[in-house]
Amino acid sequence: MNQHELNIDKLTTDSKFQEYLSLGLIDNIALRNLKIKSDYSNLRKTHPMFESIHILSLKYFLSFDSINSILFRPRRKKLLSLNSI
């Protein structure tokens, strides 16, 4: 699914999502990063790239470089090991 198709606000207000979050089944950092990417996509409609990143760094209390890394650095997916459960 494309991240642009996902309505994060609607998802995070869902009761099941809130239950999973309270049980610790949702990765808070991954959720924050998804919100940052969604916010960036919306900001880019009206702001230049550097200004958008600066706005996000202020909003999320992260450095410019951290926001840039979240947005543009390729990430490997973590594998869930059943041995760690």
In a domain, 16, yes or no: no
In a domain, 63, yes or no: yes
In a domain, 6, yes or no: no
pTM: 0.79
Count CB-CB contacts under 10 A for residue 32: 13
In a domain, 20, yes or no: no
Q: 35-38 — which CB contacts under 8 Å span 24+ positions? A: 35/8, 36/60, 36/67, 36/70, 36/71, 37/3, 37/70, 37/71, 38/3, 38/4, 38/6, 38/8
In this model, does residue 70 exceed pLDDT 50? yes
Give Cα 15 distance to the centre of its chain: 20
pLDDT at 76: 78
Number of domains in the chain: 1
In a domain, 14, yes or no: no
Tens-digit pLDDT profile for residues 4-41: 567 888 888 999 999 999 999 999 999 999 999 999 99
Structural domain harbouring 43: 27-84
